[in-house]
Amino acid sequence: DSDLHMTALALELCCTLMGDERSSQSVALAVRNKVLPQALTLIRSSLLQGQALLALQNFFAALVYSANTSFDSLLESLLACAKPSPQSGGIAKQALHSIAQCVAVLCLAAGDQKCTSTVKMLTDILKDDSSPNSVSSLS
């Protein structure tokens, strides 16, 4: 629990740094290069919940707002987290729930056009059960 609390505080700090107009581009770049990979690892945790999950959602939105990370690359990274890896096996339902929430926040932060195209893409994946990205292959 204390680790998740510290995680939430660290993510909130990153959001504050990225949202501050006085922050340099190098701060946002450092956050993207050093914190984002860790955030993508964290999102696969079945323990992620509460304040830490909210902070992670805000972190992804802040990345889009800071204009230093493209929506498409973030979406691709989040969807890749939903795929089971050969070494770790399946992915916990709680992790899928966390990933879905972060995708939703990401879409809202990116605007209507990205939101609409993402919903269409996800709907197409769900309709095509033979797709390697289908829900049956994710669970």
Residues 6+ apart with CB under 8 A from 28: 17, 18, 66, 68
What confidence tier does 129 reach under pLDDT thresholds 50, 70, 90? low
Tens digit of each residue's pLDDT (9 = 90 or more) over 106-115: 999 888 888 8
- pLDDT, residue 134, reads 46
pLDDT tens digit string along 55-87? 999 999 988 887 667 888 899 999 888 887 666
Q: Are 102 and 56 in contact (CB under 8 A)?
A: yes
Predicted pLDDT of residue 67: 63
What pairs with residue 98 in β-bridges? none
Whole-number pLDDT of residue 130 = 57
Tens digit of each residue's pLDDT (9 = 90 or more) over 1-32:
568 889 999 999 988 888 777 766 777 788 88
Measured CA to CA, the distance from residue 64 to residue 106 in angstroms comes to 7
